[in-house]
Amino acid sequence: MMTVRTSPHIHGNLRTDKAMLFVVAALIPSALWGVWAFGVRALVVLLVSIASSLLVEYLLGLVSKESTLRDGSALVTGLLVGMNMPPAVPLFIPVIASAFAIAVVKWTFGGLGCNWMNPALAGRAFVFFSFTSEMSAFTLPRAFGVDAVASATPLSALKTAMTAGGTGLSYELLTLPVTDFASSLSDKLGISPYVIDAFFGNVGGCIGEVSSLLLLVGGIFLIAAKIITWRIPVVYIGSFALLSWMFGGIPYGLGAFHGEVLLPLFTGGLMLGAFFMATDWVTTPTTPKGEIIFAAGCGFFTFLIRYFGSLPEGVSLAIILMNIVSPTIERFVRVKPFGYVRKKKEAKA
Amino acid sequence: MKLATFRRGGVHPDDKKRLSKDRKIERLPFPSELIVSMSQHLGAPATPVKKKGDTVRRGEVIGTASSYVSSPVHSPADGVVVDVRKVRVPSGAVADALVIKCDETQSDPFKEEFDWKKESPEALLETIREMGIVGMGGATFPTSVKLNIPMGKKADSLIINAVECEPYLTSDYRVMMERPDEVLEGVMAAARIVSPDNIIIGIEANKEDAAQLLSSRIEAKGYPIRVQLLKMKYPQGDEKQLIKATLGREVPSGKLPLDVGAVVCNIGTTYAIYEAVRFHKPLIERVCTVSGESVCDPKNVIAPIGTKFSDLIAFAGGAREDLVSLIAGGPMMGFAVADTDTPMVKGSGGVLMLPRMLDDISFPCVLCGKCVQHCPMGLMPNKMFRNIKYGNYKAAMDLGLMDCKECGCCAYTCPSHLPLVQGFKLGKKLGRQAK
């Protein structure tokens, strides 16, 4: 018996559930780094996030009588929630974040494809504002030779210094420890040791956001696999870097066009956000032009929140904000069709 | 040399031409029975002029053109009309057809040569009309209508479509490799009718040997033809994309190539034109690629129009056990047929036997934008599909549904495997009705 169906009779390799697994694979190096840097506790946080996310997805599937575990989106959401948690977070927090992400943000709006915010980010934002102190307690990574010592992230330390009226560049303001490796490399290259530590991941922060290098590798892998396009990460990071350079120095008394660029790029989860959160298929515009507007908006709001807001980090809120704007971008930014003829304006009577 | 191509959208499926690329064209022995549909072409079906029991000669008219956009149908063989009935043609439509029982011995009446260079363009056009030549790339638009430039219009470019961008198909390629001089003579005959300023053969880079062969013959004969090598990209063989790639002009929405001064003609059609003007031979046979992973011995076959697919399959060594779908045409735009007795028509460039190629998995639309980024027409398939899904045909048409040519790039790239093309076919039909 032969199958009859509509053309095309062949299909490309891309498939939603496989793409989700690719995203997981691209996230794993950075997650493993987090586990290595922050110890077993970080692994427990990651596993609890993933397990609760999958469990909530399964239970809601029973309610709506559809099995959606297979599409892999709950796995990605769970992993991203875990990677956005500080390593020493009490374990009930990732559970709440995952449940909020899956149940409220995704399921109530109709499941995969219908959510209007990135579920993982919305989950993180929900618990961040509910349990601010727990979500802001960071520990130093293993490279400093001490276990689980509380520490500020470079961004929050900078913010504190700025609020106290300090002016100058980050290495003049900060008194955070640096690794020997970073200080020796810093002498050779002439860049701030904080930048080097942040790039390689020897810095306080959420489990999955510390190693910019590994996130960059994962992001480039996703672009090469054609799961995401280069537009969102490049425009997001580019616009943020440009704004930081132009105006980022003003709150620190450095004047315009003297802002620091490298340290803000490699801290505060910008790499994680730009490559893995802002590129979420569902909550970003579909047109190339729309993607660029979306990414530039993310860069702008990240800059605004970080330098002129009261929070040290702005990536998650900026992306959520642009997620909300995304349908409007979709509505007004259209592709110009092939052989487009401008419709003549109707003659006024 | 930098290869030309069209800019927007497009996909790169594996071309799979290696299966049948090097197989020389073989002539199919006359099958015992032919089913000749009266609806071989785009436009009004031909009117049958033979009844059950009539004897027919090879090349004799058995159906006359019923309107301007129509084409006569000729008998592909000597034989007897044993039945007149409705059949389902590859596109799924039902049409009148004559069933011809072929004689044991067949005549070959097309020996006499005519010198077409002495004839006027009008006479040549009339010959092409009488010989029932239609576009053999698949759309089967009557060639005489296409080549006839209306008063007040001017076609400055004649583009010969040798792209054959559908995977698997190699019939045009084999024709170019084996009959280069004949093809070029057909091009010159078409050029005599159109009288363009320049003639361009557009050919994709995976057929570079054919391009070189044609170039050397053009040089030897001194024809004013330019061979333009194009970067491989589907759907470059579509008229609009080919004009964009070769001339850089965009055909406006709802207009014809002639409106930007171009006439596009398929390479297989030029061979048919050659046979029509040189030997007054009607379009009664064509080269057809029988290929696919599920056929034992892929071949390029020259077969009479009306040959049943089952005869072609048997000639190619039969189907393998893993056969799942039988496709008339290419895998991107061809039609799946259920009945192996479906007859070949003038547009059948290929018969494919494919194993299981698609998994029946479907996810909701995840708004990834792949369809938007790959649509060669610059449409937004995701939005059109959503509107059609909810019965909002007017909104889908406002988004440019009628510009969609069902090339399948969107469905090919869709990670959620949504039946986008199916939706658009339905939407067009219901949208027209609603108007």
Minimal CA separation from B218 to chain A, in Å? 33
Taking only the tens place, the pLDDT of each residue in A39-60 is 899 999 999 999 999 999 999 9
Q: Is the dihedral of CA A326, A11, B161, B231 positive or negative?
A: positive
Chain B interface includes A149 (CB < 8 A): no
CATH 3.40.718.10 fits B27-110+282-354, yes or no: no
CB–CB of A4 and B338 under 8 A? Answer: yes
* Record: contact A10-B422, CB cut-off 8 A: no
For A337, which of B358, B378, B419 is closest by C-beta distance? B378
CA distance B198 to chain A (A): 23
Distance from CA of A56 to the nearest CA of B (A): 19
Q: Do residues B180 and B359 make contact, with C-beta atoms less than 8 angstroms apart?
A: no
pLDDT (0 to 100) of residue A144? 81
Tell which residue, B406, B153, B394, B349, has the closest CA to residue B259.
B153
Task: Please list every residue in chain B whose beta carbon sits closer than 8 Å to the beta carbon of residue A71.
Answer: 363
pLDDT at site A345: 52
Using CA atoms, how far apart are residues A348 and B432, in angstroms rounded to an integer? Answer: 29
Strand order in the sheet with B225-230: B225-230, B198-204, B157-162, B262-266
Determine contact: A167 vs chain B, CB below 8 A.
no
| Rg of chain A in Å (alpha carbons) | 22
Distance separating alpha carbons of residues A239 and B199, to the nearest angstrom: 48
The total of other beta-carbon atoms located within 10 Å of residue A25's CB is 13
Whether the predicted pLDDT of B34 surpasses 70: yes
C-alpha B282/C-alpha B223 separation (Å) is: 26
pLDDT at A343 (0 to 100): 62
Give the model confidence (pLDDT) of B286-299 as tens digits: 999 999 999 999 99
DSSP string, B167-182: SS--HHHHHHHH-HHH
Residue A260 has pLDDT above 90, yes or no: no
Identify from B363, B404, B425, B426 which residue to disrupt to test chain A contact, counting A C-beta atoms within 10 A and taking the largest count.
Answer: B363
H-type alpha helices, B34-134: 121-130
Nearest chain B CA: its distance from A216 CA (Å): 21
- Least Cα distance to A120 among A98, A139, A138 occurs for A98
What does the pLDDT read at residue A148?
59
Of A2, A337, A339, the CB nearest to B324: A2
Do A157 and A172 meet the contact criterion of CB atoms below 8 Å apart?
A: no
Which tokens sit at A7?
A: 């053309």
Distances (CA, A) of B98 to A349, B285, B287, B337: 58, 16, 21, 20
Per-domain boundaries in chain B:
27-110+282-354, 112-279, 370-434
The token pair at B384 is: 């059109």
Q: Which amino acid is at B428?
A: K
Interacting residues of B35 by C-beta distance below 8 A, sequence separation 6+: B87, B97, B98, B99, B100, B306, B308, B341, B343
Q: Angle, to 10 degrees, between the axis of helix A212-224 and the axis of helix A16-38? A: 170
Whether the Cβ atoms of residue A206 and residue A84 lie closer than 8 Å to each other: yes
Q: How many CB atoms lie within 10 A of CB B245?
A: 24
- The ipTM assigned to this model is 0.89
Chain A positions touching B351 (Cβ under 8 A) are none
User: CB contact, 8 Å: A336 with chain B?
Assistant: yes
Q: Each residue of A26-43: pLDDT tens digit?
A: 999 999 999 999 989 999
Asked whether the beta carbons of residue B333 and residue A8 sit closer than 8 angstroms, the reply is: yes
Residues A120, A100: Cα–Cα separation, whole Å: 9
**Residues of A whose CB is below 8 A from B410:** none
Q: What is B112-279's CATH number?
A: 3.40.50.11540
Is the pLDDT assigned to residue A349 strictly greater than 50?
no
User: Mean of the pLDDT values across residues B330-339?
Assistant: 92
Is A15 near chain B, with CB under 8 Å?
yes
Radius of gyration of chain B, Cα coordinates, nearest whole angstrom: 21
Among A166-180, B101-115, B204-218, the minimum mean pLDDT is found in A166-180
State the CB neighbour count (10 A cutoff) for residue B105: 7
Task: Quickly tell me which residue has 């922060």 as its tokens.
Answer: A205
Q: Which of B218, B270, B262, B214 is nearest to B242 (CA)?
A: B262
Mark yes or no for CB contact B326/A340 under 8 Å.
no
> Counting Cβ atoms within 10 Å, is residue B161 exposed (0-12), middle (13-18) or buried (19+)?
buried
**Cβ contact B415–A288 (<8 Å):** no
Q: Do the chains contact at A11 and B358, CB–CB below 8 Å?
A: yes
Q: What is the mean pLDDT of residues A230-255?
A: 92
Looking at every residue in chain B, the average pLDDT score rounds to: 93
In B62-100, which positions are buried (b, 16+ CB within 10 angstroms) versus exposed (e)?
A: bbebeeeebbbbbbbbbbebeebeebbbbbeeebbbbbb
d(CA B108, CA B103): 13
Instruction: Kindly report the nearest CA distance between residue A43 and chain B, in angstroms.
Output: 30
Q: What is the mean pLDDT of residues B351-365?
A: 89
Comparing alpha-carbon positions, the chain B residue that sits nearest to A16 is: B415
Residues of A in contact with B366 (CB under 8 A): 16, 112-113, 281-282
Query: How far apart (Å, rounded) are the C-alpha atoms in residues A12 and B420?
Result: 14
Instruction: Kindly identify which residue of chain A lies nearest to residue B357, measuring between CA atoms.
Output: A10
Output the average pLDDT for chain A: 90
CA nearest neighbour of A295 among A285, A304, A305: A285
Distance from CA of A114 to the nearest CA of B (A): 8
Q: A334-348, B242-256, B419-433 — which is least confidently predicted?
A: A334-348
Cα distance between residue B326 and residue B331, in whole Å = 10
**Alpha-carbon distance A311 to A290, whole Å?**
28
Contacts with A290 (C-beta within 8 Å, 6 or more apart), sequence order: A284, A326, A329, A330, A333
Q: Which one, of A189, A187, A184, A157, lies nearest residue A173 by Cα? A: A157
A229 in B contact zone (CB under 8 Å):
yes
Given this model, what pLDDT does residue B397 score?
Answer: 92
Q: Which helix (H) or strand (E) holds B199?
A: strand B198-204
**Testing the interface with B: which of A7, A22, A107, A112 to mutate, by most B Cβ within 10 A?**
A7
Per the document, the length of chain B is: 435
Contact predicate B7/B281, CB 8 Å: no
Answer yes or no: are the C-beta atoms of A338 and B255 closer than 8 Å: no
pLDDT at A348 over 60: no
Over the stretch A157-190, which tens digit does the pLDDT of each residue have? 888 888 888 787 877 788 788 888 888 888 888 8
Band (B86; pLDDT cuts 50, 70, 90): very high
Nearest to A14 among B327, B335, B413 (CB): B413
Indicate the angle between helix axes A288-308 and A315-332, nearest 10 degrees. Answer: 150
pLDDT of amino acid B325:
92
Residues of chain A contacting residue B385, judged by C-beta atoms under 8 Å apart: none
| Backbone φ, ψ for residue A48 (5° rounding) | -65, -40
**Contact check, Cβ <8 Å, B253/A287:** no
* Cα separation values, B90 from A231, B282, B336, Å: 43, 22, 8
Contact B332 A335 (CB under 8 A): no
The DSSP result for A232-250, as a single string, is HHHHHHHHHHHHHHHHTTG
Residues B235, B241: contact at Cβ < 8 Å? Answer: yes
pLDDT of residue A146: 66
Q: From edge to edge, which strands make up the β-sheet containing B299-304? A: B25-27, B299-304, B285-291, B350-354, B325-328, B335-337
Cβ contact, residue pair B332, A11, below 8 Å: no
Can you say whether the dihedral through the CA atoms of A80, A84, A87, A92 is positive or negative?
A: negative
Share of chain B above pLDDT 90, in %: 86
Rounded mean pLDDT of B165-179?
95
